[in-house]
Amino acid sequence: MSSRKKILLKVIILGDSGVGKTSLMNQYVNKKFSASYKATIGADFLTKEVLVDDRLVTMQLWDTAGQERFQSLGVAFYRGADCCVLVYDVNNAKSFDTLDSWRDEFLIQASPMDPESFPFVVLGNKVDVGDDKRVITSKRAQAWCQAKGGVPYFETSAKEGSNVEQAFEVIARNALAQEESQDFNPDFPETIPINIGEQNQGCSC
């Protein structure tokens, strides 16, 4: 039964305002970049179907506003997440410094069963901008990821689309692993995220 179930993976994308969360998501799902995406207000999500190995899964990618004060209302979405993507701008030191607080905030609000093993992925975005502007080196970012228990790290450009597909493939894979580990946990049947394509409830209309 459970192997035939339609799988929905809930992925939360966090990071400071303007690091390129919305752009990354749109690059991945719609394969395009526009310089005129509006600043995100509230929350929205995009979905994409992908094959992970031979399994068809639906990724539901949640995008929220980056400015801190808007996070307090958005935390409702964190619940049931299968993976959290932390984005910073390699040309902006502040956006890297805040990764810790984004991670902490997420763990507190989403309260996954096993915070130690909850999958995060870090994306250093806007690598297309000239090297002279870059302030966070790969090394520094990798060190941070290492210290957090080997978080996968990718350097991306939402503008040029580089490395985006690869990053999201790992995100999907890790999210699926997380989802399945939860599935097998009999103590927490409730942590399965709300599935939009809920199985056969029969017609109640």
Partner 1 sequence: MASHQEPFTPGGVEDASRDPPSPASPTASFYDMSDDEEGEYSTIRPSKTGKGVKLLYTKSKVYVHPTPSAKDNIPGYVALIQQKPGRTDSISSPPTSPGVGSSLGGRRSAETSSLLLAWVPESSLGAASEIYSKVDMFESDSPPKQSCLVPPPPITTTHSSSLGTYAFAVPLSEVFSVMVRPPNTGWWFGSIIINTRGGDSFPPLFFHDSECQSTIAQRRRLQRENFSIGAAETGGVFWGGDQVISWLKKYVNVERSGQEPSVFLIEPNEADKVSFGSGGKPTPDKVKNVLQGKHRDEPMQKKPQNPGDAVTKALTQARWNFLEKMAQVTTFTRRTAQNLAENKNIPPQVRRLMQDPQVQTVSDEFDSARLYLARWAMGIAEQSEKERSQRIWTAKDVLEMEESEVGEFEVLDMDSQGLSLADRRKPVTLKEWNSYFNSATGRLERTPDEVKERIFLGGLHEEDGARKEAWLFLLGVYEWDSTKEERHAKMNSLRDEYIRLKGAWWERMVDEQGTLEEREWWKEQKMRIEKDVHRTDRHIPLFAGEDIPHPDPDSPFAEAGTNVHLEQMKDMLLTYNEYNRDLGYVQGMSDLLAPIYAVEQDDAVAFWGFVGFMERMERNFLRDQSGMRLQLLTLDHLCQLLDPQLYDHLQKLDSTNFFFFFRMLLVWFKREFSFPDILRLYEGLWTDFLSANFHMFIAMAILEKHRNVILEHLKGFDEVLKYVNELSGTIDLQSTLVRAEGLFRRFQRVVEAIDKKSNFPAPTVRQRLPQPPSPSAAKPGADGRPRQGSSGGGAGAAASASASSSGRARMTTGDHVAAGVGAQKERVISPELRALLSRELPKLDKTEVRAHGGGVAS
Backbone angles phi, psi at 143, to 5 degrees: -60, -45
Q: Binding Mg ion by CB under 5 A: which of 40, 125, 157, 178?
A: 40
Query: Taking CB under 6 A as the rule, does residue 192 contact ligand GTP?
Result: no
| Interacting residues with ligand GTP between 38 and 57 (CB under 6 A) | 39-40
State which amino acid sits at residue 161: G
* Smallest distance from ligand GTP to CB 66, Å: 3
Residue 50 CA to residue 8 CA, distance in Å, equals: 11
State the binding partner of 12 from ligand GTP, Mg ion, partner 1, none, CB within 5 to 8 A by kind.
none
Which single residue is written with the structure tokens 């297309």?
128
Query: Taking CB under 6 A as the rule, does residue 158 contact ligand GTP?
Result: yes
Q: Please work out the total of residues on this chain that contact ligand GTP, with binding judged by CB under 6 A.
A: 21
Q: Binding partner 1 by CB under 8 A: which of 32, 94, 166, 188?
A: 94
Question: Which range in 87-95, 117-125, 141-149, 161-169 contacts partner 1 by CB under 8 A?
Answer: 87-95
Question: Which range in 49-57, 142-150, 153-161, 196-204 contacts ligand GTP by CB under 6 A?
Answer: 153-161
Burial 183-198 (b: 16+ CB within 10 A, else e): beeeeeeebebeeeee
Count CB neighbours of 133 within 10 A.
Answer: 11
State which amino acid sits at residue 34: S
- State the distance between the two ends of the chain, measured CA to CA, in whole angstroms: 26
Spatial neighbors of 37 by CB under 8 A, at least 6 apart, are: 22, 23, 26
Q: Binding partner 1 by CB under 8 A: which of 5, 6, 32, 55?
A: 6
Query: Taking CB under 6 A as the rule, does residue 119 contact ligand GTP?
Result: no
Longest Cα–Cα distance of the chain, Å, equals 62
State the binding partner of 199 from ligand GTP, partner 1, Mg ion, none, CB within 5 to 8 A by kind.
partner 1
* Smallest distance from partner 1 to CB 25, Å: 12
Spatial neighbors of 137 by CB under 8 A, at least 6 apart, are: none
Q: Given the rule CB under 6 A, which residues bind ligand GTP? A: 15, 17-23, 35, 37, 39-40, 65-66, 125-126, 128-129, 157-159
